Amino acid sequence: MNPDVIRACTPLFLAGIGGAIGLGVLFGNISDSGKWSAGIGLAGTAIAGAAGLAQNTKHESNITAEGNARVVQDNPTQPSGTP
């Protein structure tokens, strides 16, 4: 498989798992509040992980240089190394 396809499908897979866990907890017959909150926490973690993986990984630079661009030093005086 192409790595880009795998990167695109992984968040969908994790979000699907998180949604399935969340629906199972909400509509399941769970009377213990500790198990219910743990299930909701697990579902939220899976969905948040999917959202984190779905971020754009390509960093495009939006810095442009004009034809006559030059480097300017902010502090033209250099600190001396001797006390």
The C-alpha atoms of residue 44 and residue 15 are separated, in whole angstroms, by 9
Note down the domain range covering 27.
3-53
62 in a structural domain: no
The C-alpha atoms of residue 66 and residue 54 are separated, in whole angstroms, by 34
73 in a structural domain: no
64 in a structural domain: no
74 in a structural domain: no
pLDDT score for 20: 92
Q: What is the pLDDT along the chain (83 residues), one digit of tens a residue?
A: 788 888 888 888 989 999 999 898 888 887 888 888 898 999 999 989 888 887 776 666 566 666 676 766 666 666 666 65
10 in a structural domain: yes
State the total domains in the chain.
Answer: 1
How crowded is the C-beta side of 19, counted as CA atoms within 13 Å?
Answer: 8
31 in a structural domain: yes
38 in a structural domain: yes
- pTM over 0.85? The answer is no
The C-alpha atoms of residue 28 and residue 25 are separated, in whole angstroms, by 5
pLDDT score for 16: 92
pLDDT score for 79: 64
pLDDT score for 36: 87
